[in-house]
Structure 1
Amino acid sequence: MQGLGSISIEVPAVNFADIVGHNLVKNRLQQTIKLLNNPTLIKHHKVSLPRGLLLYGPPSTGKTLLAKAFANEADFPFISVSGTDLLDHNFVKDAICPS
């Protein structure tokens, strides 16, 4: 795991099979992975690849676990940032364009 301020980057070991419930969300995230792994389909629909994924909802509902499973199954790093950090212009600037 490495970090930049409050940003942490990791390669999670959890997958969707480890998560009980959230079947609709898991299904939609798996569909997103299929799209990301098939760039010709994305180009066919004339949309650009997403640069990130944001899950929202009440605390303690499994968003972070779902995001880690998504990152693992999509073979992406998991990057965690607190919501309050995203409100800090300097933090966002440093995160996007580190010196």
Structure 2
Amino acid sequence: MRRRPTFLDTGLPKLSTDQAASLIQPFFVDEIWNAVRCCDGGKASGPDGFTISFFKMYWDSFKPLLVSLMEEFHRSGEISKGCNASFVALIPKKSDP
């Protein structure tokens, strides 16, 4: 049997019914665009080799794909394993560290 912790009267603020309901609403295209737009585009590329700047520049082409991806996530609650992959490279700032 799986045991879960209980949090009885922790004194933490609680969500209102409306706030809780808003967390399970489908994503709006504007919300997805705002999330992409707010990301720093100059950071390192993802596993596919593309930076966020690339997706921003070609948003009109990628919008249907990203919206479909988010709709599938909302429906199933799962994201494809490849979407969350990342690579970390340690680059020394000094020669011969």
TM-score by length of 1: 0.26
Higher strand fraction (1 or 2): 1
TM-score by length of 2: 0.27
- Greater length-normalized contact order (CA 8 Å, ≥ 6 residues apart): 1
